[in-house]
């Protein structure tokens, strides 16, 4: 099997994406350390499912926001299963709060778990890999929200944006040790954390019932690839596993007039009073002219888009803004 004899540590594995990844790696032959925090019964069920695959499993309780507990978690995994080959940095929190009401405590809670926790879980696992002279793979769980933004989620978006930068920087530092660092940016996924927020966010359109939500299996498939030898030359990358979602508020504008060789894509968000355009510049491998101009009719008027071109950008890096946006009635 693909991961026969490998040891995989999955943080936040008691449910959702973490559970799905733990079971997928076990089915592929890996022994799994299941990190959990607040649901012993759920974690035990995941461990039983891993063992049903004929693989070893241990439970490691730890709050990834606490550095001492992270160090203990890594040591316990190696003592119980052996040297870690793969880390899935999945543990995270997904609270919602309006920006104008957000407190320092709200901010610290999210950044401590999502960003600081991912950083030091990766650091302690990487130290163990380097000390043992072993190559390995670390996969961070980011979010598509890091690029598109998210109402009531300034702290969450900041933490996931940090994951993207953290991934690229760690990949550069750890490449000499043959430790690969990648991330996965899921779209909306059917998890407990998501549906706990649904009643509170439906009214502002954040969770549109008509909008597709991904199954956790989509993310675990990407993780399996990134952790495998098939991705031996892949590091510092972030695939977006989101099914190209479309909501009531956001429609991809696919029919913009093309000017020159390439034109940055755009999407238009409609409201009662204005049409706001958010421009995305996608690297195409070609040079662009500096002032691409296009017009699109909206429900409230015409939006003029003037997009300054940017060369030498990696695939799918968004630029906000690329020039200026003007609405006319």
**What is d(CA 279, CA 266) in angstroms, rounded to the nearest whole number?**
5
On whether the CB atoms of residues 132 and 233 are closer than 8 A, the answer is: no
**What is d(CA 166, CA 159) in angstroms, rounded to the nearest whole number?**
10
Predicted local distance difference test score (pLDDT) of residue 50: 98
If you average pLDDT over residues 11-20, what whole number do you get? 94
Residue 9 zone, left/alpha/beta (φ > 0; ψ -120 to 50; rest): beta
> Percentage of the chain surpassing pLDDT 90?
58
Reply yes or no on whether the pLDDT at 163 is more than 70. yes
Reply yes or no on whether the pLDDT at 197 is more than 90. no
Average pLDDT, the chain: 75
Q: What is each CA distance from 144 to 30, 88, 182, 239, in whole angstroms? A: 28, 18, 15, 10
**What is d(CA 33, CA 56) in angstroms, rounded to the nearest whole number?**
8
State phi, psi for 162 to the nearest 5 degrees. -65, -35
If you average pLDDT over residues 244-271, what whole number do you get? 38
What is the band of 219 on the pLDDT scale with cuts at 50, 70, 90? low
If you average pLDDT over residues 131-150, what whole number do you get? 92
- Structure-token pair, residue 84: 């870690």
What is the band of 70 on the pLDDT scale with cuts at 50, 70, 90? very high
On whether the CB atoms of residues 262 and 322 are closer than 8 A, the answer is: no
Reply yes or no on whether the pLDDT at 105 is more than 50. yes
Q: Which residues are catalytic?
A: 156
Reply yes or no on whether the pLDDT at 325 is more than 90. no
Predicted local distance difference test score (pLDDT) of residue 255: 36
On whether the CB atoms of residues 71 and 122 are closer than 8 A, the answer is: no
Predicted local distance difference test score (pLDDT) of residue 300: 41
For the chain, domain boundaries: 7-241, 250-328
If you average pLDDT over residues 265-271, what whole number do you get? 37
**Of the candidates 10, 55, 9, 51, the residue with the CA atom closest to the CA atom of residue 29:** 55
Predicted local distance difference test score (pLDDT) of residue 311: 34
pLDDT, tens digit (0-9, with 9 covering 90-100), for 80-97? 999 999 999 999 999 999
Predicted local distance difference test score (pLDDT) of residue 129: 98
Reply yes or no on whether the pLDDT at 227 is more than 50. yes
Reply yes or no on whether the pLDDT at 211 is more than 80. no
> In CATH, what is the architecture of 7-241?
3-Layer(aba) Sandwich (3.40)
């Amino acid at each position: 099997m693909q991961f026969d004899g490998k040891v995989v540590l999955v943080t936040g594995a008691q449910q959702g994406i973490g559970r799905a990844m733990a079971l997928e790696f076990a089915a592929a032959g890996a022994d799994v350390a299941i990190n959990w925090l607040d649901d012993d019964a759920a974690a035990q069920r995941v461990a039983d499912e891993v063992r049903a695959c004929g693989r070893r499993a241990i439970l490691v309780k730890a709050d990834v926001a606490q550095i001492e507990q992270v160090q203990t978690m890594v040591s316990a995994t190696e003592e119980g299963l052996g040297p870690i080959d793969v880390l899935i940095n999945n543990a995270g929190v997904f609270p919602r709060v309006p920006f104008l009401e957000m407190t320092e405590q709200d901010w610290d809670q999210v950044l401590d778990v999502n960003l600081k926790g991912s950083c030091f879980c990766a650091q302690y696992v990487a130290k163990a890999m380097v000390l043992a002279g072993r190559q390995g793979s670390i996969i961070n769980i980011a979010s598509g929200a890091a690029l598109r933004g998210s109402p009531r989620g300034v702290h969450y978006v900041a933490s996931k944006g940090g994951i993207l930068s953290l991934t690229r920087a760690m990949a550069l530092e750890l490449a000499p040790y043959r430790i690969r660092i990648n991330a996965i940016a899921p779209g909306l996924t059917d998890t407990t954390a998501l549906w706990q927020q649904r009643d509170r966010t439906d009214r502002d359109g954040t969770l549109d019932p008509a909008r597709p939500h991904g199954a956790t299996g989509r993310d675990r498939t990407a993780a399996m690839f990134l952790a495998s030898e098939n991705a031996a030359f892949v590091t510092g990358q972030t695939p977006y596993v989101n099914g190209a979602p479309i909501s009531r508020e956001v429609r991809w504008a696919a029919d913009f007039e093309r000017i020159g060789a390439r034109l940055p894509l755009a999407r238009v968000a409609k409201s009662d009073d204005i049409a706001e355009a958010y421009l995305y510049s996608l690297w195409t491998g070609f040079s662009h002219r500096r002032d691409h101009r296009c017009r699109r009719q909206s429900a409230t008027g015409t939006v003029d888009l003037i997009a300054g071109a940017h060369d030498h950008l990696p695939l799918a890096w968004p630029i906000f803004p690329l020039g200026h946006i003007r609405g006319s009635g």
